[in-house]
Structure 1
């Protein structure tokens, strides 16, 4: 929240604005609302702030809506008036009788303005739905998503760019994708507080749907947890395809990625637990948070060494790296080590079998090391 902007608001209206900025999460993307261009409609020369009109910027349909809100600071108990964006002035002009939160306006309720914005957005959604009635293709795409998927009206936002009163240009479909992000391990999300949001923006370059451009947007928290946007590439929209087929496919792709992250974490945890069970008395240290590293002090034919195991991000698909470190020898002033990541391995083995086989492989590697040194 911009404190400088809020500081220019008239005292009797300030609480309304603060609640709007602090708690207002709007639309499919749960985006923050902003205000700008704070002005005063009064000619007073009083020293206290007198701002009672401003522009509110609300995310919607992959765009932003800019509406001017007009209060009268001399009558703070009255509801505000609105001037809607230039592109909507002629058509989007809801009847005040349809806006219950204005008819029942209570200036003592700090959420009063927030409730009005929410209700106006619902009416704006209905306005956009009416705009696409001129296109049978767009109507089909929208109705099929609602009728044949688990999506609800609040999960889809439509934004149509108008070329004239009767002709549409490009049309946005902004779709909220459902996935259980709560399953993602805590260590991947704790440094990125915020929303768990994934939305799919589909742009129809024309109402006939001859070309559709899909774009996936993840909140910073989800993007970091899933390894970055480049790690989750969505397919191109197929020629002649429909949203009813494409959207569920992308949603499943997202769910599969979450499953992969969770399963990799659980497999690493299982692997480390198996080693702790088998070789607990030899344990030096292990990563109890991400389960990516574990180290042991082992003995082989009266030779003591440290075995460090690093588990890669895509374990068990990628095999662990084994590093053997001598506790006796140095190389250029550092402990002598040898690293191996090419040895018999199968991602289908259980954690217990991996522990058994890793110890066996370690003995073979040490035998080869000593055999080479003896020669």
Structure 2
């Protein structure tokens, strides 16, 4: 067994604010479990979107401070192929609000119509009732629409979201529950808190809070950080409205992060502190943040250990073909046993070296009926000790691959015979 080292216009503003008549959107609120189709870099050629609308949408997707998604696109005319309407999924309070943006391909210079969700019928009247600087109102953007400015749609959505946040905060403040009112008063000093009131025909009313944790700039803690959006960790707090509860109960708590942060830290592995009787959020949050801060610092330090492990691989396998230079989570080497060449993929866990890498072998000579290289199942059971030196870890894995290569070649040949 040896290593192969290759080189490597707008008459009525209010009419533009409408309500959705479709069913309520009730997908999972967790960022990390969302799976939406992205519509990025849209062009008339490959998506059927008129360029004047595509420019607006592309700018929104590229410059939004939070990850807005496009769920679907469709044409407003049965006789026109152009896609001039789309549904935006906008992050809010660790959930997604669903708004339709309705352009008109026959009047491309006009502002779009907007359709909000079925539970937000009081939102447009709320917009109209707001005083203050009218130049900062979304109604001002709609009544002074400039279709040649690609940033207008994003500005509109951001301002609408800001007003929507104020609208939800007002709804929560009107809830007849002393406990909720008290909790709000204790968290007023915190910036960035979002809240919403959820209700339905078949479930009790609940107040949801999304509380951002840590003042630390997580992006700056990772050298060479590739994240475009600022990474955040939130505590989701859900209080049932008291009129549905015979006695106060502990809120439902869950730690949620932006999805990219999983490359550094897994909130699923963080054990939340126990909520004690009589506790309030003003007591609970500092303790959670202290523990979380320590674990984040430790997670950053583990990046260096994973990188050094990858740097130790050449002593046994030769220089890796590919490696994750930022987080040290993946590496790939090319090896051979006689004329049989194959790749070894290293999937390095966040808790390395307490947890050993998962290995996947991939043949460079055997392919299935779909033309995909044959791979072994993930292998995570082999001799390992977190106390070994990194160079010894690499050599022990090398020895294991030596023993496993013949079995892998045999399984590849058997797979070809069964085709």
**What is the match of residue 289 of structure 2?**
251
Assess if the C-alpha contact under 8 Å between 1:66 and 1:84 holds in 2.
yes
Query: How far 1:238 sits from its partner (Å)?
Result: 2.8
Assess if the C-alpha contact under 8 Å between 1:200 and 1:214 holds in 2.
yes
Assess if the C-alpha contact under 8 Å between 2:69 and 2:88 holds in 1.
yes
Matched, 1:176 2:212: yes
Assess if the C-alpha contact under 8 Å between 2:39 and 2:69 holds in 1.
no
Assess if the C-alpha contact under 8 Å between 2:264 and 2:300 holds in 1.
no
**Whole-angstrom distance in 2 between the partners of 1:61 and 1:324:** 46
| Structure 1: unaligned runs, 5 residues or longer | 270-288, 292-311, 326-331, 333-375
Assess if the C-alpha contact under 8 Å between 1:193 and 1:221 holds in 2.
no
**Of 238, 252, 259, which aligns to 2:276?**
238
Larger radius of gyration: 1
Query: How far 1:194 sits from its partner (Å)?
Result: 6.4
**What is the match of residue 414 of structure 2?**
none
**Of 155, 159, 162, which aligns to 1:122?**
162
Query: How far 1:235 sits from its partner (Å)?
Result: 1.6
**What is the match of residue 128 of structure 2?**
95
Q: CA RMSD in A?
A: 4.3
Assess if the C-alpha contact under 8 Å between 1:156 and 1:175 holds in 2.
yes
Deviations 1:102-156 (A, max 9, x none): 2332211111111101001111111111111223332332232123xxx21xx11
The 5 A counterparts of 1:1-375 are 1-2=38-39, 7-25=47-65, 30-40=66-76, 42=77, 45=79, 49-93=81-125, 94-95=127-128, 98-99=137-138, 100-133=140-173, 134=175, 135-147=177-189, 151-152=190-191, 155-163=192-200, 169-178=205-214, 179-182=216-219, 184=221, 186=223, 195-207=230-242, 210-226=249-265, 228-262=266-300, 313=353, 320-321=387-388
Assess if the C-alpha contact under 8 Å between 2:52 and 2:148 holds in 1.
no
SS at match of 2:187: helix
Query: How far 1:85 sits from its partner (Å)?
Result: 0.2
Change (3 A) 1:206 1:129: same
Q: TM-score, normalised by structure 1?
A: 0.60
Query: How far 1:90 sits from its partner (Å)?
Result: 4.1
Task: Name the structure, 1 or 2, with higher relative contact order (CA <8 Å, separation 6+).
Answer: 2
Assess if the C-alpha contact under 8 Å between 1:172 and 1:201 holds in 2.
yes
Q: TM-score, normalised by structure 2?
A: 0.54
**Whole-angstrom distance in 2 between the partners of 1:268 and 1:10:** 47
Change (3 A) 1:92 1:268: closer
Deviations 1:26-71 (A, max 9, x none): xxxx33332414221x46x45xx42222222212112221112222
Query: How far 1:246 sits from its partner (Å)?
Result: 1.7
Q: How many residue pairs were aligned?
A: 274
